């Protein structure tokens, strides 16, 4: 079985080589992303393996079908880059629902601590033998309130860590997790209450039509002055223009972004010798209280190993058994994990 692997990076190969060899899968790594222009590269392969910034829209799906390819194996959890409605009945879409919620939750906390304790500033200052503390005053996390939007796997690990710091948690989720609200340190509230009551807000929900720009101008207006916004989920959860305006007006105290709405044009590539065309991204990065990492929250050895193992197992399971427990399908008007394990 031959797999065309798009948007391949050097760190993908060791774990995928290991697990594919065990399963007898033959992987060809392409550095380019999958999109309408590059889909021809998949000719002669049995499946494509894609990541967060590959494009699996209707024209790509049509061409994959014409090439006889019926498997799109996502090596990530989110599937907002796939036209799931169009894919249903045409290609099997497999994903890795969980590979390490700890990796993403811990990166979120790393960004938060870096930001509020000015570690990014201190690192640069001390390398220049500048030992001044001017402008380095931070604040304690203990006793602060964190608003967590999305209390799934990652959100719950993040909440556990925050509770370790002695923080209060205001949570919001479309589907509340049983047993999480203890009526005291963790409470489910409405989105509006979360905005009004949180010192820090962290996003851990998927990107859907409902959650698109959940942090917009109105939300920022409702927030406390000095709110810290953390986004390690998906870029378009935050209206970047509204965030920038909030930073400029000093309403937003700090932002930590591992994802960005237009990241597909930049993230994972080296633009250090180029002039960045995206003024909003450039302006955000120029701010002393904004930290940007380029979608690296997942990037731990543990997560990479789990991603490769599950992706390879997903393909093997679908090919050998005709079904896969990690298939996503579009039934009843929305994309969700295929409950029967047999999508079509």
The minimum distance between CB 37 and ligand NAD, in angstroms, equals 25
At its nearest, how many Å lie between ligand NAD and the CB of residue 266? Answer: 15
Closer by beta carbon to ligand NAD, 259 or else 291: 259
Residue selected from 88, 188, 298, 330 as contacting ligand NAD according to rule CB under 6 A: 298
| Residue in 97, 59, 90 with CA at minimum distance from that of residue 72 | 90
Catalytic residue among 224, 234, 261, 327: 234
36 is catalytic: no
Instruction: Pick the binder of ligand NAD from 6, 49, 75, 101 (CB under 6 A).
Output: 101
Strands 92-94 and 186-188: unpaired
User: Of the listed 261, 263, 313, 327, which one is catalytic?
Assistant: 263
Q: Is 230 in the site for ligand NAD (CB under 6 A)?
A: no
Cα separation, 25 vs 9, whole angstroms: 18
Mark whether 277 is an active-site residue: no
Q: Provide the token pair at 278.
A: 């995206």
Q: Indicate which single residue of 204, 243, 252, 254 sits in contact with ligand NAD (rule: CB under 6 A).
A: 204
Torsion (CA) 9, 12, 18, 23 in degrees, nearest 10: -100
- Which residues, 51 to 80, sit near ligand NAD by CB under 6 A? 77-78
Q: List the alpha helices (DSSP H) in the chain.
A: 13-23, 58-66, 84-87, 101-116, 119-127, 153-164, 191-197, 217-222, 240-248, 279-286, 301-321
Residue 235 within binding range of ligand NAD, rule CB under 6 A: no
Distance CA 73, CA 95 (A): 6
What sign has the CA pseudo-torsion 257, 258, 261, 266? positive
Residue nearest to ligand NAD (CB): 152
Active site residue 295: yes
Q: How far apart are CA 224 and CA 289, in angstroms?
A: 16
- Comparison of 129 and 175: residue with beta carbon closer to ligand NAD: 175
Nearer to ligand NAD, 47 or 103 (CB): 103
- In the complex, the residues that contact ligand NAD under the rule CB under 6 A are 77-78, 98, 101, 104, 149-155, 172-175, 204-208, 210-211, 232-234, 258-259, 295, 297-298
Residues involved in catalysis: 234, 263, 295
């Amino acid at each position: 079985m031959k797999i065309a692997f798009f948007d391949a990076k050097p760190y993908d190969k060791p774990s995928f080589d290991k697990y594919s060899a065990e399963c007898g899968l033959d992987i060809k790594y392409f550095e380019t992303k999958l999109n309408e222009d590059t889909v021809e590269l998949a000719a002669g392969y049995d499946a494509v393996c894609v990541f967060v910034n590959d494009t699996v829209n209707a024209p790509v799906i049509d061409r994959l079908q014409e090439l006889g390819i019926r498997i799109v194996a996502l090596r990530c959890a989110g599937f907002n880059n796939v036209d799931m409605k169009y894919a249903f009945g045409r290609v099997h879409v497999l994903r890795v629902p969980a590979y390490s919620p700890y990796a993403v939750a811990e990166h979120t906390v790393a960004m938060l601590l870096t930001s509020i304790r000015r570690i990014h500033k201190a690192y640069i200052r001390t390398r220049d033998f500048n030992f001044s503390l001017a402008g380095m005053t931070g604040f304690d996390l203990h006793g602060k309130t964190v608003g967590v939007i999305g209390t799934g796997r990652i959100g719950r690990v993040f909440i556990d860590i925050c509770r370790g710091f002695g923080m209060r948690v205001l949570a919001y989720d479309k589907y509340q997790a049983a047993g999480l609200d203890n009526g005291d340190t963790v409470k489910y509230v409405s989105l509006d209450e979360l905005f009004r009551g949180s010192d820090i807000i962290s996003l851990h929900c998927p990107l859907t039509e409902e959650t698109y720009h959940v942090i917009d101008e109105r939300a920022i207006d409702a927030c406390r002055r000095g709110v810290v916004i953390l986004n390690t989920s998906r870029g378009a959860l935050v209206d970047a223009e509204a965030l920038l305006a909030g930073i400029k007006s000093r309403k937003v105290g700090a932002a930590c972004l591992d994802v960005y709405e237009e990241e597909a044009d930049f993230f994972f590539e080296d633009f250090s010798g180029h002039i960045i065309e995206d003024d909003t991204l450039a302006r955000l990065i120029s701010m002393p209280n904004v930290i940007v990492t380029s979608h690296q929250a997942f990037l731990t050895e543990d997560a990479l190993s789990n991603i490769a193992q599950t992706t390879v197992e997903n393909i093997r399971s679908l090919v050998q058994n005709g079904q896969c427990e990690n298939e996503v399908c579009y039934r009843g008007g929305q994309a969700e994990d295929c409950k029967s394990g047999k999508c079509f």
